[in-house]
Structure 1
Amino acid sequence: MPAPIAADREEVARRLERYVAVDSPNPALEPGQGEAEMADLLAADLTELGARIVRQEALPGRRNVIGRFDVDPALPTIVLDAHVDTVPRGEAGGPRWQGDTLFGRGACDNKGSLAAMVEAARLWLRLGRARACNLVVLGTVDEEVSVKGAEAAADIIGRADLIVVGEPTNLSIGVWHKGTTRFAIETTGRSCHSSMPERGDNAIDRMAIVLSRIAGRVRPAIAAMRYEDGVSCVMSVGAIAGGGPLNQVPDHCRIGIDVRRVPGVDSEMIVAAFDEALADLIAEGHVGRGAPFISSRSFRTTAPDALVDLLLDCARRRVPQAGRIGLPFGTNANRLDRFGAPIVVTGPGHIEYAHTADEQIELGEVVQAADFYLDILRRAPALLAASRRGATAPAT
């Protein structure tokens, strides 16, 4: 009797460590080579597995990696996507093991998903003639800033019957996520010597009034914008700058606003809430709201319940508490959904470790995820093929 096809723990550990060892900060956050070395490594690994590689320039000098494993154009196509950029390393540093836990920037966001997907592809190839789908492994740039990698990839990956976006969800199935709106508010005043502040007009004092309005009026209005299970929009003031020498009354101040919007709430609704609360201050001419410089869409899946249920069953065989969830953070899903393919967001690790000084992931979680992704590649094609025909697939 042949041995079951399952993830190789040592192989997964080696690949995960290699990926985390490559520093791949988004160059919009830290100037440098960006994702290039990580993209090259992924392309080499997929080439070794026999993939047909496409390198797509999504932004100047920044290329997505598309690895295609074509079986038969008549079969469903499943895409496994993981972004190859990270936030800057900072104190998280490079890879280091503590027992079976790997620490380092990118460990859970998002090289755990990437390593698991490549291992799943390696295992899927061993199925030989039992393979019932075409497979695309997609490594995208720029997820951490403007998601231009996924936006570009959507143009060339062609028809897909299922897209799985890897992110740290502990294998829960993400079926929606919030969008983002970011903009600035500025106050102006009149400078004077700080020994005679009555001769000036303090822009920071005026900003204090703005902040009080935001706390008392805008935040409750935004919290009242709700989605499933009472999940609401949230906001934060994430940056403030203003003034100059302390012997001078400041004539300018600026704050940066970050709002995470639930599905059904757009940027226009958000800025309208601010404008209503600040209307009299804006009318006086010393308060101004800038146009949003980031306005990313929220996402909700088009995957039918039967497909989500199948994916949940695959997940719960490894993580019994896995569920159907919404995500507070953004992902590639809101750019890859351009052509209507069912998309879910799921992967190993825990989002609370992402972007932190102690970013980490358990090796066992990545091994489980590789088997989970393989299970999807084995079980989902029958349901996807039946969906193409308008039929009902038997449970698998």
Structure 2
Amino acid sequence: MSRLDLVERLVRLASVSGGEGPLADLVAGELAPLGHLDVVRLGDNVIARTRDQDPYAIFAAHLDTVPGDAGATRRVGDTLFGVGACDTKGSVAGLLELARTAWPVGVTYVFYAREEIAREQSGLLEIFRERPDLLRGEVAVVGEPTLGAVEAGCQGSLRARVRVAGRRAHTSRPFAGVNAIHRLAPVLVRVSEYEPRTALIDEVAYTEQLQVVRVGGGLANNVVPDEASAVLNFRFAPDRDEAGAEQWLRDFLAQALESSDDVVVEDLAPAAPPALSHSDLRDLVAVTSRPARAKVGWTDVATFANWGVASANFGAGDPLLAHSSQECLREAEMDEYVETLRLWLSRRG
């Protein structure tokens, strides 16, 4: 039996953010017969903990995916293609396999909803609000795809909307107005000329990124627009806190804006520094036989870090394929993920 068989079952079950219920049912059903675990269901989140042992290691993977067609799932040789295959249903399947073993230390498995949407809707935060005791532990491993290596810490994520004003007029007499979309051009040019900064933190290199992800404006085809906006996404290194990241972005945009324009922060998630000073995470790096590298995206490693739990990213699959039309998971990647964690857990006693 291939480890991809269970992954395929999970991928064929659609679980776009907010619709994780059927997948949570499946996960809870897989865990229920395991007598060494206590299983708790909170909404569409499923948590399983070793019975009668102090919690030590936490494994967390999200159940939701970005939008896509679960019906397009297919196997080609030893490769499974489908939405969520590597982000993060491969890790979910691997953790379900690991959960069948009673390990020498207390283990908590956290399968949570709504990671792919706004952070305030996160199922992990829902668990923390309702049952923070379920998230106690010494060390956490977040199952985001890392292609066989430990990815340390994570970059923060700031989403901001830049709004500029104009003055309405008829397009046959544009001199009577001010075109807000045209006024947005300096912002777009400024961001397009951005040069990424790399921060070296504990020998791990984090490269920041800034992108325009949405542009909006215009009322009608014969009206000079009086307002326009651009949404920016700034991925910032762990040597910046949230306030510092916001201030940097405002300073960076200042020369492209006028005093009447504004920048509104719509979502802000903190970065997390690498936690490789923790001996268990260093040992996980050693077990992989690969050097640790930076997690350039944002993950719930930052959430665990905020709760005082040393954590790192390690999951099945290639992060470059996540959210892409070619998202896939290879059987060898799945095998390496499970066997690495199996060896690491066996050394914890």
TM-score, scaled relative to structure 2: 0.90
Partner Cα distance (2:197, 2:10) in 1: 42
Change in CA separation of 1:362 and 1:231 when aligned onto 2, cut-off 3 Å: same
Contact 1:349–1:365 at 8 Å: present in 2 too?
Answer: yes
Specify the alignment match of 2:86 in structure 1.
108
Partner Cα distance (1:16, 1:230) in 2: 32
1:137 correspondence with 2:109: yes
Contact 1:225–1:265 at 8 Å: present in 2 too?
Answer: no
* Secondary structure class of the residue paired with 2:32: helix
The match for 2:61 among 59, 82, 87 is: 82
Specify the alignment match of 1:298 in structure 2.
271
Change in CA separation of 1:371 and 1:276 when aligned onto 2, cut-off 3 Å: closer
Partner Cα distance (1:274, 1:364) in 2: 42
Partner Cα distance (1:268, 1:339) in 2: 19
1:1-396 aligned at under 5 Å gives the runs: 10=1, 12-27=3-18, 34-50=19-35, 51-57=37-43, 63-73=44-54, 77-90=56-69, 93-122=71-100, 124-125=101-102, 131-147=103-119, 148-154=122-128, 155-216=132-193, 219-220=194-195, 223-224=196-197, 226-228=199-201, 231-279=206-254, 282-285=257-260, 287-290=261-264, 292-304=265-277, 306-316=279-289, 322-379=290-347, 381-382=348-349
Rg: which structure is higher? 1
One-letter amino acid of the counterpart of residue 4, structure 2? A
* Secondary structure class of the residue paired with 2:127: helix
Q: Report deviation, 1:300.
A: 2.2
Write 1 or 2 for the structure with the bigger share of strand: 2
Percent sequence identity is 28
Q: Deviations over 1:317-369 (max 9, x none)?
A: xxxxx321111111121112343222121011101111011110001211221
Partner Cα distance (1:368, 1:340) in 2: 29
Contact 2:207–2:296 at 8 Å: present in 1 too?
Answer: no
Q: In structure 2, list runs of 5 or more residues that go unmatched.
A: none
* Secondary structure class of the residue paired with 2:224: coil
Q: Report deviation, 1:151.
A: 2.3
Partner Cα distance (1:185, 1:52) in 2: 48
Change in CA separation of 1:80 and 1:14 when aligned onto 2, cut-off 3 Å: same
Q: Deviations over 1:267-308 (max 9, x none)?
A: 3333333433554765542x2211x11110111243535323
* Secondary structure class of the residue paired with 1:344: strand
Q: In structure 1, list runs of 5 or more residues that go unmatched.
A: 1-9, 28-33, 58-62, 126-130, 317-321, 383-396
Contact 1:298–1:334 at 8 Å: present in 2 too?
Answer: yes
Contact 2:58–2:135 at 8 Å: present in 1 too?
Answer: no
Q: Report deviation, 1:114.
A: 0.8
Deviates more, 1:358-367 or 1:306-315: 306-315
Contact 1:204–1:253 at 8 Å: present in 2 too?
Answer: yes
TM-score, scaled relative to structure 1: 0.80
The root-mean-square deviation of aligned C-alpha atoms, in Å, is 2.1
* Secondary structure class of the residue paired with 2:268: strand
